[in-house]
Structure 1
Amino acid sequence: DELNSKSYNVPLIENFKIIERPADQTTITKRFSKKVIELVHQYKEDNFFIYLAHSLPHIPLYASVEFLGKSKRGLYGDVIEEIDFGVGQILTELKKLKLEKNTIVVFTSDNGPWLTYKTHGGSAGLLRNGKGTTWEGGMRVPAIFWGAGIVSKSVNEMGSTLDLYPTFMSISNISYKDDNKLDGVDLSEVLFNNGSSTREIMPFYNGSELYAFRYKNYKLHLKTSSWFSKVETHDPPMLFDLEIDPSEKYNISEDNPEKINEILKIVKIHKEKIVYGDDQLESRD
């Protein structure tokens, strides 16, 4: 029974210590939110950075008794509503402690829906495909920034979680070594001053292999694959104009060889700048 959280013998770990096994995943969302509120109180007189990575709505899905069966979207909707409620509790607590004027909250996701699990996997709307692919449905996710001074608006320009680090450093007036090679860009002008994003490129990798590459509103697909499907190499690469075709339905490569060559030159420069690190997975015991 998927709703029986004890059927998955997964541990709940705090400070490298297992505090519960099997973890009761029907209560995990509210417990994560409660822990964040505890940490906010603990460090309210100091600077703090809290990274809350909800394990849900990754499958298998669970919701507490307070939210189970309450949404119109089924179990997936119940899970999302409980996460939303927890975020609201955290924001309310920040306001109670008068920290909202000196705190930035970012809400985003790591990937698109896991379509294999149908209604339990989420939806990418009009975007093509989902998790595990380099199509827009697998990679493009929403992001919400909340905090004092942030201009209230909708932004359709490119941004990445890679940009969070340099943005936070800029907001905090913290400098970093010039020899640090950062892939991110500072988005503070976008957030606070109605500026435009300086991000023009976005590479899409599968492991260490480049599958797709975006330059401004154009996206080049060198290779594509989906869950349990073979990798397909495209020569010439497929080309889509995401400004007018966010669903990546219409391959315009045949009519735009110059644009393909332009982007391939940028891809070459990108690859030449890559500094490969050690594979940390291979070194594990």
Structure 2
Amino acid sequence: MVRPAWFAFLCCVALGSSRGSDRPNFVFFVADDLGIGDVGCFGNDTIRTPHIDRIAAKGAKLTQHLAAAAVCTPSRSAFLTGRYPIRYGMVGTDLPLAFVQLAIPSGLPRSEVTFPQLAKAHGYRTALLGKWHLGLNCAWAGDHCHHPSNFGFDYFYGLPLTNGLDCDPDVTVTVGQYIAMLLYRHLRLWEISTTIFVAILALKYFRYIQWKTVFLLSVFGWSLVAYPHLALTNGRRLNCVIMRDDEIIEMPFNVSTITPRMTLEAVRFLEESKKEPFLLEVSYWNVHTAQLPYMEFRGRSRHGLYGDAVEEMDWSVGVVMATLERLGLTENTFVYFTSDNGGHIETGVEGGSNGIYKGGKGQGGSEGGIRMPTLVQWPRKIKPGTVVSEATSQMDIFPTVADILGTPLPQDKVIDGRNIMPLLGGAAVTSPHDVLFHYCSEYLHAVRYRPREGNVTWKAHFVSYNWDPGTTGCYSLRICRCAGQEVTYNDPPLLYDVTNDPGEDRPISDPRYPVVMGVINKAVEEHVRSLTEEEKQIGLSNFIPRPWLQECCNFPFCDCKEDVDLSSLEIGGQS
């Protein structure tokens, strides 16, 4: 006779084995600052994206898929956790809107659970290739408390920070240098440090302190003033780095080789993982501000370096998809393509398109900043050519992966995402969200409401941006601020039907207005009650790097280079 406990165990094993063959692999492509108007299947006819478009043809196109923030750090954290960033402090009060230095103690809190962790707990092999941008160290260089390995990724190859304008060796004045100039011009730090040093010498003259103390205080004071200047004006060397797991392997990195190298890593990972379930995230630098695609792609597009970078990314997607096909994995692989936020229209360099939608990166309430070009393919479950026009969110990936894995959602956290497999598979026809909240940093700018009946999605704007005349951008700052004189507080809020007026050109003022706003205001009250006070991870202090948190290879030079053989890739064509 079989004991009940052993019998239950054997049943679980049998159930797990039967489910194992049905569990899909996961591949997530996440672009950086790619506008919804930059992709062929979303209407662009001048930038060539055949491989991305093929995912839409073989799967589903999501035309109202929304980021939880319009800038990378909070947006990417929401994607991984299924939760609004404000719930766990991945917000600030205003500028900056994301992490801007590598040597800062901020990052994704360790208390958060990510969908790669769910997959890893179910025996999946996991990897992140490319951009992380969710923090690295807490107390000292090398503690790696915010490293991807602590959030479910077995393997990491990529950028712990991002590919900013500082990473372009041809830029004459970098963002860091501009910040340093402001600090030293307006705070007059050199004068302050000189005054402190004179005061220290005076203390020594009157024999209140010893020479040893003079030396220590002088070094400390000089470091306090000089290190921020050194770090801010050397952003390319200190922030533009590539890691392999815990090790810095290139510092500063060569932007133009990153996408081919990530692609090669993706091919290797797939080949090594073909006999076991895997989850792979390919997180591109394309098309962030240091736009330097590989030489084989330069001059190929009709839109300068920006278009070249988009087409380089499309090539990479094609190589990964072709590898899945070659290994016989296409049929049972869940493939997801999206961007972390909308196109950055104020950069002053070649930029992209957010289509018919107003605004862009950094504008949490604007469609151009949060409506993402998103595609999903899973041949076993999703019919080719499916179009989902209902409101969905990048936060939905967490509960969708959990449902596919057959694992319960965490009970100690509010999960804001919803399972969208019924929508993707055709079993549901309306959004699983009644309400979605659109934040700019910690400020609630807009709310989207989908009634259970009818074909309408309402969006209320509590805050609007004071765009430069004739544009939907804030070019004086190169990004719109979330509060203060740069915005208008709408009283009463502006209300649009974004289903039938996606360009938000015709605000509603008829008798429906008070009814809809009554529902939205009640939802806002309930949402606010569900929030708890959390330490903010993003703030002005993020501009100032800490020397004890600075990663460095080949100390003290902080200079190293990875030699990579890319000959196995047919760069510029198909693998």
After TM superposition, the structure 1 = structure 2 runs for residues 58-73 of structure 1, keeping only pairs within 5 Å, are 58-73=288-303
In structure 1, the partner of 2:373 is 142
1:49 alignment partner, SS class: strand
1:246 paired to 2:496: no
In structure 1, the partner of 2:405 is 172
Report if the CA contact (8 A) 1:185-1:198 is conserved. Answer: yes
The one-character-per-residue Cα deviations of 1:41-84 (angstroms, maximum 9, x if unpaired) are 22222222112211120112111111110112221111111101
Q: 5+ unaligned residues in a row in structure 2: which ranges?
A: 1-164, 171-235, 451-456, 466-473, 543-548, 550-575
What is the letter of the counterpart of residue 530 of structure 2?
K
1:87 alignment partner, SS class: helix
In structure 2, the partner of 1:109 is 339
CA RMSD of aligned residues (A): 2.3
1:262 paired to 2:519: yes
In structure 1, the partner of 2:439 is 205
Distance in 2, matches of 1:183 and 1:135, equals 20
Higher share of residues assigned helix: 2
In structure 1, the partner of 2:560 is none
The structural deviation recorded for 1:258 is 2.6
In structure 1, the partner of 2:536 is 279
Report if the CA contact (8 A) 1:151-1:194 is conserved. Answer: no
In structure 2, the partner of 1:219 is 459
The structural deviation recorded for 1:280 is 4.0
In structure 2, the partner of 1:187 is 420
Distance 1:228 1:180, change over 3 A: closer
Report if the CA contact (8 A) 2:255-2:290 is conserved. Answer: no
Report if the CA contact (8 A) 1:111-1:138 is conserved. Answer: yes
1:44 paired to 2:274: yes
The structural deviation recorded for 1:243 is 1.4
Aligned match for 1:13, one of 230, 237, 243: 243
Distance 1:220 1:146, change over 3 A: same
The one-character-per-residue Cα deviations of 1:210-244 (angstroms, maximum 9, x if unpaired) are 11111021111111235356121111111111012
| Identity within the alignment, % | 31
Q: 5+ unaligned residues in a row in structure 1: which ranges?
A: none
Distance in 1, matches of 2:500 and 2:349, equals 28
Report if the CA contact (8 A) 1:6-1:23 is conserved. Answer: no
Q: Which has the larger radius of gyration?
A: 2
Aligned match for 2:493, one of 210, 229, 237: 237
Distance in 2, matches of 1:75 and 1:280, equals 33
TM-score, normalised via structure 1 length: 0.91
1:108 alignment partner, SS class: strand
Distance 1:278 1:162, change over 3 A: same
Distance in 2, matches of 1:280 and 1:118, equals 28
2:490 alignment partner, SS class: strand
1:19 alignment partner, SS class: strand
Distance in 2, matches of 1:37 and 1:279, equals 38
Tell me: higher relative CO, structure 1 or 2? Use CA pairs within 8 A at least 6 residues apart: 2
Distance in 2, matches of 1:167 and 1:276, equals 28
The one-character-per-residue Cα deviations of 1:5-40 (angstroms, maximum 9, x if unpaired) are 445432112213211122111111111111111111
1:124 paired to 2:354: yes
